[in-house]
Amino acid sequence: MAFNSLQFILFLPVVFALYWYVFKKLPVQNWFLAVASVLFYACWDWRFAFLLVLTTLSSYAAGLALERVEKRKLRAWISAANIVANLLILGFFKYYNFFAESFADLLRLMGFLPDFATLNIVLPVGISFYTFQALSYSIDVYRRKLPATHRLDAFMAYVTFFPQLVAGPIERASNLLPQMLRQRSFDFERAADGCRQMLWGFVKKIVVADNCAVAVDMIWGNYTTMSGLQLLIGAVLFAIQIYADFSAYSDIAIGCARLFGIELQLNFKYPYFSRNVGEFWRRWHMSLMRWFKQYVYIPLGGNRRSLNRTLFNIMIVFLLSGLWHGANWTYVVWGAYHGLLMCIALLMGWNRHYTSVVAAQEWVVKPRELCNMALTFALVVLGWIFFRSNSMAEAEGYLSHMISHIGETTVTVGYRAMFYSALLLLVDWVCRRREHVLRLNFGGLFQYRWGRWVLYYGLVFLIIYELHQSQQSFIYFQF
């Protein structure tokens, strides 16, 4: 059940009403939320709902066992068994064909003629997200950073919480689980703010991302016949598409959670205004990078050891990040590319620069910062070409054709997408100090209720107007 579907528009108010007016007390409220979330997930494929429940129950049991066992070695074995079991499930469904085919290709290069059987495996929606969320709990319990919960209702609601179940943000147990353990009360102001954030998320998805998707698909599908300028525009439009699409899902998830009295972590902070790659990764898919930092980078030694070891740790994190996104060498190359950029930033001493909002007290950015933003955006767009391509051959072909035909300036598609992309970036720039765009400061016309409602209705009509376009699923559903 996608957020941009009629099913969800009908599902949400029913669940909201039952949650607050029928199942008002814990633990019944948590059980209802868990059941509703599993039903939400089962709308894609009911068979994989059992996989979600299995992951949840195994991590819950692992937490109880880790709490009761005092011997360090046995606790390590329990934790390792739970991690391996969950990663094996993830690996089978997501990477079996990738590794089998890659190994077969390697053997062919060595002169052998292997005949590996590959399976037509359907990837369960959101498996990477809920697996990482469940693992964060058992790892924190093993480290004694979090007490094991004995309440299955709260734990089920924590792992399966439907707003962020299939595409994040990836919540750590220390943030979300305590909210499931305490009684929640309805807060009108919080719910209203959640509705505004959801509205802006729908604008980004339906108006911007879906229009960009139509142009990008057309350009990528016919790149050998396109001009160099058209291919450059296609790469930029994909950068806008993936940002508008993924941040839209995060906005809808965070806003929807507020309707249920739950606060989720911020996942995007206007990343395309970053002034170097280090700042970009502090603003892009923040929940995933926090996960890798806590459970991969720091355990590997972080930056506490030699410079070479730090560079190695960075590359491991970004290679795993690329592989996390999908079973394709294009994702691995994309991860390695960003890992290399981060290593260069570390060697040049740039990685910790720019921790505040760009031009925080000004409307116009300084020329040096503008150049840094443009360079960072160009580097990120280059990486997105590999991310978007279906194969390394396609990525190489797209890049080579774009460079060799850069003198050709014919543009035939993407005008509508370019207009909406420019408008999105302009609005983001004006609102870059806010947590989300529609968290209004109530100045000017917005100090009047009629001014705010004109804006809200205008955005709703814009969404309805653009619904005739080809509706696209959220990009990160495939991860």
Instruction: State the catalytic residues.
Output: 325
Give the residue among 384, 376, 372 at the shortest CA–CA distance from 236.
384
Residue 263's Cβ-count burial label (10 Å; 0-12, 13-18, 19+) is middle
**Token digits of residue 147:** 């007490």
φ, ψ dihedrals at 328, nearest 5°: -155, 140
- Residue that the structure tokens 């450059």 belong to: 232
CB contact burial 423-456 (16+ within 10 A = b; e otherwise): ebbebbeebeeeebbbebeeeeeeeeeeebeebe
**Axis crossing angle, helix 228-259 with helix 188-202, rounded to the nearest 10:** 160
DSSP-H helix ranges across 209-299: 210-221, 228-259, 277-283, 286-292
* Helix 28-42 / helix 152-160 crossing angle, nearest 10 deg: 30
Tokens of 258: 């507020």
CA-to-CA distance for 138 and 155, rounded, in angstroms?
11
* Amino acid of residue 201: G
Q: Which residues of 230-248 are buried (b: 16+ CB within 10 A; e: fewer)?
A: bbbbbbbbbbbbbbbbbbb
Tell me the DSSP string of 231-244.
Answer: HHHHHHHHHHHHHH
Give the H or E element holding residue 372. Answer: helix 367-388
